[in-house]
Amino acid sequence: MSTPLSDQHRTLLNSAVTGTLVTIGPDGSPHAAPVWFLMDEETIIVSTRTNSQKHRNVVRDGRVSFSVIDPANPMSYVEVRGLAVADDDPTCAARDRVVQKHGFADGSAFDRPGTSRVRITVTPTRVLGR
| DSSP labels, the chain | --SPPPHHHHHHHTSS--EEEEEE-TTS-EEEEEE--EEETTEEEEEEETT-HHHHHHHH--EEEEEEE-TT-TT-EEEEEEEEEEEE-TT-HHHHHHHHHTT-S-SGGGS-TT--EEEEEEEEEEEEE-
pTM: 0.94
Instruction: Out of 2.30.110.10, 2.60.40.10, 3.90.1150.10, 3.30.390.10, select the CATH number for domain 7-129.
Output: 2.30.110.10
Question: pLDDT by residue for the chain (130 residues), tens digit each?
Answer: 456 788 889 999 999 999 999 999 999 999 999 999 999 988 999 999 998 999 999 999 999 999 999 999 999 999 999 999 999 999 999 999 999 999 999 898 888 888 999 999 999 999 999 8
